[in-house]
Structure 1
Amino acid sequence: MRDEVGFFNFSIYKIISKEQSYLDQARIRLLYYGFFLVFVASGVLFVSVYFQGQHLLAYTAGLLMFSVAVLFKTLTYRPKWQAISHALLVIGTLINISIVYVSLQSINVVTLQVVIVVIVFSYYMLGQTWGLVYSLLNTVPILIFLLIEYQGSYVIGIKPDKIDQATIIISLFASFILLIFIHNHFYTSFLKNIKQLKESGEEQAVLNLKLEKAIEKAEKSTRAKSDFLSTMSHEIRTPLNAVIGMSNLLMMDSPRPEQKENLEILRFSANNLLAIVNDVLDFNKIESGKLVFENIRFNLVELMDNVCGGQMLNAEEKGLEFKLAIDDRLKNKVFFGDPTRITQIIFNLVSNAIKFTHKGSVWVKVTCLEDRHNWVTVKFSVMDTGIGIKETNLRSILEPFTQGSLAATREYGGTGLGLAIVKRLLDLQGREIQIFSKIGEGSEFLFNMEFPVSTERPAKKVDEPTEKTPENFLASLKVLIAEDNVVNVMLMKKLLSKWGIIPTIAENGERAVEFMQYGNFDIILMDLQMPVMNGFDATNEIRKMADPKKANVPIIALTASAMAEIKDKVYEAGMNGYVSKPFKPDDLIEKIQSLTILN
């Protein structure tokens, strides 16, 4: 219905619109044209009964004419068809009762026709519930009147009117016209409604087909994005592996002080670039719904010490005071959860705090809020005395690729993904992060997490020797490296030479299989993306060898891809371990030692 309708409007086209359903349009038309028919019919009846001296019926007809005129004007000025329908039905019900109990004091074909018109009109206009209500309001009084007449004569102090045959004919004619008009009008609207539903169904089918194609296209786009990120991950991390690896090797060669400073800058920059790549990959993994949370045992106190230990050095380099406070009630508990994701959350929050704080301090607090024997609620808080965040930006900084301001982005750099990853990781676990901040005074990031805990006391750590195996054991290992990148080959040779290992190099997976067929090796370092034959296929071929010793040789996957599904494929292919490039030398040698000792 249109909003702007003048008081002197009489046009139906100004009170209906295409936005309305066919049924609602039909109801408004029925009221509009029905008022005209009722007004004419009641006018004819008024003339007929007035000149016969039937004053009660004349008053009733006149009241109906006046009511119809008022309701018609209301419809054309304020077209609220439901309220108007109720008003008309209430008036019709009252008139019907007054005719039976006062004007005629009897029931005849005229009163029955009025009841039928009211019932039909109420169902079509207002639906089943109100149709039933008005049907009962009109039929029950008539049934009561019949019972009264059956028990004895109905007598009141008002003389009833008598209607002649002409008045009956006029009333019946008007009633039939109204009933025919109502049925014909709504039958037509129902046919249009069915046609509209059919057309809507056909349009819906076309839209569904388009939607399926759009979904298929989106899925292809998502797969393409994932493949692109995997490829870019490999292409970026491969040279990074060489840069970081060579930096580590040079640092192990006791460089001069000025060389050491340059190498530290080089390694720091390479690690920063690696962190950006990892952030992009992690965020993509979360957004694609491929992230799965682990539920393993871990020591929360040790975890926090390890996460904050490295960050403490970064804070001290900036001249900041770094404090880590852990509730004593958490120190003798074994937690169950995903330590990797907790590390990621705390690391990002602490890194941000240090990055955006020029002077003052950074505090990390871990507090036990509630201890329910086998469940613990822990509050994590990271506070700083940094630049602070505007109140208007408190929500937006949690969105991806967003920082507090353009100036902050230029001054501090970064992808703006750290806090977005934190928010997504907490959202996936049903947790919410709270932020309190004042410009120039600092910020505080808070969140709570619930952990199941073991009722057993954690075993005390036993100090292990730093060297698990003698150096001559490492030097005696026969290592096969399947790697096609020349720089990585040179890096691996130099790195392994530090432990006295002289490896054999296979430039692709097919050559690695050939080496295994004609030689014996203690362990294989297998790149995954290689020409001729990739690392997965090469591993499958090796696992099929007849010689059990060769078939069961330990294989460590070395790959620059950081996609989650790659790790699963590694173990499905039968490999024994996984080291992501760029790797720390200690991580690689520890993996080699653990697998060769077990073997």
Structure 2
Amino acid sequence: MNRHGAHDYFNNAWLEFTGSTLERETRGGWMERIHPEDLDAYREKLSQSFNNHSPFETRFRLQRSDGEWRWITDLGRPFRDGQGDFAGLIGCSFDITERIEQERSLTEAKSRAEAAGEAKSQFLANISHEVRTPLNGIMGMLEALAESSPSAQQAEYIETASQSARQLLGLLNDLLDLARIEAGNLPLHPSLINVGELIRRGTAPFAHEARGLGISLTVEVCAELDSLLFPLDEVRMRQLLFNLLGNALKFTKFGGTVAVSAFLAGTQAARKLVVVVSDTGIGIPGDKLAAIFDPFVQAMGALTREHGGAGLGLSIVRKLVRMMEGAACVSSEPGQGTDFAFSIPVEPGEVRPSEAAAEPAAPQITLPPLKALLVEDDRVNQLTARRMLEKLGMSVDMAENGQQALDAVSRFQFDIVFMDLQMPVMDGLSATRAIREREGAAGGPRLPIVAMTAHAMKGDREMCLEAGMDEYVPKPLEKNALALAARTALDKRTG
């Protein structure tokens, strides 16, 4: 474009692309091939650049000589004559159609992946709720039976059923943990812990199971791990140990051995905690080793396999270790046994205080006599929760939905409310918001409200607190968790 705003030159590549002639293009014919939807915006951009003597970059669709519309990036800049005066614009155009199509494909793929991820999260949330609700009733009723002076045979049956329920809960938690890790929604909460003590305490619950299976279980911890404290996530460290130990015991036969060892490796400036769980079990075939850490993969996949499980434990181990910037590995010999190991980089440990050698007992949670309102629509869960609350010394009134709860708190005086979320007529979140609105309008005291729900996905606790609840307890319910939640909610009211 010259200093007068006329287009006076197009190269051969442009003419071949458009199938036009230089004479026609310089008379303004080139703009006839810009897509009508893009033409006004392009003219405005070009005019601004010309008037301001400034560079420009824009996109538009241009019709090729064969009639196909192609995406073009047009780049232009001002140029000057020998005296430094503005002499017009010079530019070049690039056919970026393939890039645009790739971008569109990536955007569509991303949208599909996000939609699939959202559908997966919603599915897991629904599964979590639908499984936890009946499981809460099963475990609560089994606990009630265990406290009803059963015969020795009945107690054995109750314990067997309870163990099966705990296994089902463990599987559910594994599924949710795996989904959280893959979504990047499982945060770590490091605190100074004594690894040696954690490993010994974490191994202790398996000792009874090992004796019952006729398996020797040994633990060896280097002395240095007992004298230092390291910043690690205690809950996830226990989960690593439990998954590996449970796996080792499952695949080790009567008379075999399972050994746990832990030590520090590396230099003082780059130390690593190494934990090894070894067994003398059935081992893993060589062609299965590469995939053993993949989710839902088991070395023995046939329907006739002797050992159960969903194949999630080892996948969770590897993902947790990677979150901690470590590595996990396995070596095995079929018929001889398997060694699982993981290493995690640790910061220089702090010297363990001498008084920390004896960990104080957990304080007993005490509650005053309380009049509680239990808001729950499921009959079995009503029985379970009511029994637990009464065991904690509370007198309990019932409401079957949020509207009944709202009516009850407006007519009667309660010390605390335990509120389910998913209910007919009015859900627990809406009922809580309505109670808080009434309190605000009347200027009355704050009624402690504890969420008691099968919604146990990431963000559910925060959702409850944002609605105005004071604490949150996931199902299946545990009496100690209920007591702690009640104590916390009451403390918030009194400050």
**In which range does the TM-score fall when normalised by the shorter chain?**
0.7 to 0.9
Quote the offset at 1:310 in angstroms: 1.9
- 2:473 is aligned, of 579, 585, 591, to 579
Change over 3 Å in CA distance of 1:378–1:518 after alignment to 2: same
What residue is the counterpart of 1:343 in the other structure?
A: 238
Quote the offset at 1:440 in angstroms: 1.2
Q: Is the 8 A contact 1:334 1:458 kept in 2?
A: no
Q: Is the 8 A contact 2:71 2:100 kept in 1?
A: no
Q: d(CA) in 2 for partners of 1:422 and 1:332?
A: 26
Q: d(CA) in 1 for partners of 2:383 and 2:242?
A: 33
Structure 2 gap ranges (5+) = 1-12, 14-64, 73-93
What is the aligned residue count? 402
More strand per residue: 2
What residue is the counterpart of 1:529 in the other structure?
A: 422
Other structure's SS at 2:166 match: helix
What residue is the counterpart of 1:367 in the other structure?
A: 263
What residue is the counterpart of 2:461 in the other structure?
A: 567
Quote the offset at 1:417 in angstroms: 1.0
Change over 3 Å in CA distance of 1:523–1:333 after alignment to 2: farther
Q: d(CA) in 2 for partners of 1:298 and 1:578?
A: 26
What residue is the counterpart of 1:307 in the other structure?
A: 202
Q: d(CA) in 2 for partners of 1:376 and 1:542?
A: 54
Q: d(CA) in 1 for partners of 2:304 and 2:331?
A: 21
What residue is the counterpart of 2:138 in the other structure?
A: 243
User: Does residue 448 in structure 1 map to residue 349 in structure 2?
Assistant: no
User: Does residue 589 in structure 1 map to residue 471 in structure 2?
Assistant: no
Q: TM-score, normalised by structure 1?
A: 0.62
Quote the offset at 1:457 in angstroms: 2.1
What residue is the counterpart of 2:391 in the other structure?
A: 498
Change over 3 Å in CA distance of 1:396–1:408 after alignment to 2: farther
Query: What amino acid is the match of 2:396?
Result: P
Q: TM-score, normalised by structure 2?
A: 0.74
Quote the offset at 1:196 in angstroms: 9.7
Change over 3 Å in CA distance of 1:363–1:534 after alignment to 2: same
Q: Is the 8 A contact 2:385 2:477 kept in 1?
A: no
Other structure's SS at 1:411 match: coil
Q: Say what the alpha-carbon RMSD is for the aligned residues.
A: 2.9
Quote the offset at 1:270 in angstroms: 1.3
Q: d(CA) in 2 for partners of 1:500 and 1:347?
A: 35
Q: Is the 8 A contact 2:374 2:386 kept in 1?
A: no
Q: Is the 8 A contact 2:370 2:393 kept in 1?
A: no
Change over 3 Å in CA distance of 1:588–1:217 after alignment to 2: same
State the Cα deviation string for residues 184-206 of structure 1 (Å, max 9, x = none): xxxxxxx99xx999696223323
Quote the offset at 1:429 in angstroms: 2.5
Q: Is the 8 A contact 2:227 2:351 kept in 1?
A: no
Q: Is the 8 A contact 1:484 1:507 kept in 2?
A: yes
Structure 1 gap ranges (5+) = 1-22, 24-190
Which structure's CA Rg is the greater one?
1
Quote the offset at 1:565 in angstroms: 1.7
Q: d(CA) in 2 for partners of 1:277 and 1:462?
A: 31
More helix per residue: 1
Change over 3 Å in CA distance of 1:304–1:514 after alignment to 2: farther
What residue is the counterpart of 2:250 in the other structure?
A: 355
Query: What amino acid is the match of 1:317?
Result: G
What residue is the counterpart of 2:373 in the other structure?
A: 480
Q: Is the 8 A contact 1:366 1:378 kept in 2?
A: yes
Q: d(CA) in 1 for partners of 2:259 and 2:235?
A: 21
Quote the offset at 1:465 in angstroms: 8.1
Other structure's SS at 2:295 match: coil
Quote the offset at 1:269 in angstroms: 1.3
Other structure's SS at 2:459 match: helix
Percentage of pairs with the same residue: 34
What residue is the counterpart of 1:230 in the other structure?
A: 125
Quote the offset at 1:576 in angstroms: 3.1
What residue is the counterpart of 1:118 in the other structure?
A: none
Quote the offset at 1:273 in angstroms: 1.5
Matched ranges for 1:328-477 at <5 A = 328-359=223-254, 360-369=256-265, 372=268, 377-407=272-302, 410-452=305-347, 453-454=349-350, 457=353, 459-460=355-356, 461=358, 463-464=360-361, 467-469=364-366, 474=368, 476-477=369-370
Other structure's SS at 1:481 match: strand
User: Does residue 283 in structure 1 map to residue 186 in structure 2?
Assistant: no
Other structure's SS at 1:515 match: helix
Quote the offset at 1:347 in angstroms: 1.1
